[in-house]
Amino acid sequence: MSEFKSGFVTIIGRTNVGKSTLINLLVGEKVAAIANKVQTTRTAIKGIVNRENSQIIFIDTPGIHKPKHKLNETMIETSFSSIKESDLTLFLIEATSKEVGKGDMRILEKLKETNQKTILIINKIELVKKEALLQLIEEYSKQYQFEAVIPISALKPQYKETILDEIEKHLKPGPAYYDIEEYTDQTVRQLAEETIREKALTLLQDEVPHGIYVEIQKMNLRKNKQNQDIYDIEATIYCIKESHKGIIIGKNGEMLKRIGKLARIEIEENFGLKVNLKTWVKVKENWLDNPSIVNKFKLK
């Protein structure tokens, strides 16, 4: 029998390239929030995959971008620190890129600094022609000695096993660090907060979603009249301006109701029990530059 292997694998890339979509695909559970907006992921999130002969611990990271405030700086710090703490890196890029841009250059510099073992993953390949893909592989291969290059579409499950097989090849013998029932390092409370934030991100536009954070005040498990398990959850959505608060609540409270409904349905599905969700909206100006709040997003 072959020896059991394990290792930490960081997923790094520019914002919006599909890192969280990929970790969810690989883990087979909803580990990380996904949205068609930049800067969705704010901290490092672990997702655990147990295979017959290995345990792979993935670390999803905030996308690399140009920082505008303290939160952005902390996010980027978290991503680059995660690389150093991992045994292998998955560098994710978008097939639609025309060249190696500034953000990717910064990532490549960090990989070179530590001579990180790295697999290049090219995502969203269904959006481009084969010639463009080959050209991109050539461009990036000039920049770094990758262990492998794998073109994928993270929306399609067919690529999952290929990626996991390739990763396993590069892992060293080691123990299972987590119990096999665990699939993430996040608490139930954090998962619920992220679900609510994801729905707000998806439904809101412009700069409103970027100034949001969600905090759950109360989360109590009880039995309802039919003797079913039910979670009573009370959450506050914080935003940076009074005008944003109005948008998040919406006319007659419609927007807040939509966010709450989508979040409730997903939390119920993911936790397999009923949820009674109450949400409030509050303004907290300048929190994006407030160290005591932003420190929550630092690498633990």
Instruction: Answer whether 275's CB lies under 8 Å from 267's CB.
Output: yes
Nearest Cα neighbor of 18 from 33, 1, 2 is: 33
Q: Which of 7, 18, 103, 151 binds ligand GTP (CB under 6 A)?
A: 18
Q: Which of 20, 43, 89, 195 binds ligand GTP (CB under 6 A)?
A: 20
Determine the interface stretch with ligand GTP among 32-40, 114-122, 254-262, 292-300 (rule: CB under 6 A). Answer: 32-40
Strands 88-94, 148-151: parallel, antiparallel or unpaired by DSSP? Answer: unpaired
Nearest Cα neighbor of 65 from 210, 215, 214, 185 is: 210
Determine the interface stretch with ligand GTP among 30-38, 208-216, 220-228, 265-273 (rule: CB under 6 A). Answer: 30-38
Residues 71, 72, 75, CA angle at the centre, nearest 5°? 85
In terms of phi and psi (left: phi > 0; alpha: psi -120 to 50; beta: otherwise), the region of 86 is: beta
Nearest Cα neighbor of 97 from 122, 64, 63, 76 is: 122
Look at residue 155 and give the partner it binds from Mg ion, ligand GTP, none, a contact being a CB closer than 5 to 8 Å depending on partner kind: ligand GTP
79 makes contact with ligand GTP (CB under 6 A): no
Q: Which of 127, 157, 182, 220 binds ligand GTP (CB under 6 A)?
A: 127
Beta bridge partners of 149: 120
Instruction: Answer whether 182's CB lies under 8 Å from 48's CB.
Output: yes
Token digits of residue 55: 């345990």
121 makes contact with ligand GTP (CB under 6 A): no
3-class secondary-structure state, position 185 = coil
Q: Which of 6, 40, 118, 184 binds ligand GTP (CB under 6 A)?
A: 40
Strand arrangement, sheet containing 274-283: 213-223, 229-239, 274-283
41 makes contact with Mg ion (CB under 5 A): yes
Report the alpha-carbon distance of residue 198 to residue 40 in Å, rounded.
Answer: 8
Please, which residue, 16 or 55, has the CB nearer to ligand GTP?
Answer: 16
Q: How many CB atoms lie within 10 A of CB 268?
A: 15
101 makes contact with ligand GTP (CB under 6 A): no
Strands 45-51, 118-123: parallel, antiparallel or unpaired by DSSP? Answer: unpaired
Instruction: Answer whether 162's CB lies under 8 Å from 121's CB.
Output: no
How far apart are CB 9 and ligand GTP at their closest, in Å? 15
279 makes contact with Mg ion (CB under 5 A): no
How far apart are CB 11 and ligand GTP at their closest, in Å? 8
40 makes contact with Mg ion (CB under 5 A): yes
Q: Applying CB under 5 A, what is the total number of residues that bind Mg ion?
A: 4
Q: Which of 41, 72, 74, 118 binds ligand GTP (CB under 6 A)?
A: 41
String marking each residue 6-25 x if it binds Mg ion according to CB under 5 A: -------------xx-----
74 makes contact with ligand GTP (CB under 6 A): no
Please, which residue, 127 or 221, has the CB nearer to ligand GTP?
Answer: 127
17 makes contact with ligand GTP (CB under 6 A): yes
By CB under 6 A, the residues from 212 to 251 that bind ligand GTP are none
What is the phi/psi pair of residue 116, to 5°? -65, 135
Beta bridge partners of 235: 216, 279
Query: Which stretches of the chain bind Mg ion, using CB under 5 A?
Result: 19-20, 40-41
Query: Which stretches of the chain bind ligand GTP, using CB under 6 A?
Result: 13, 15-21, 34-36, 38-41, 62-63, 123-124, 126-127, 153-155
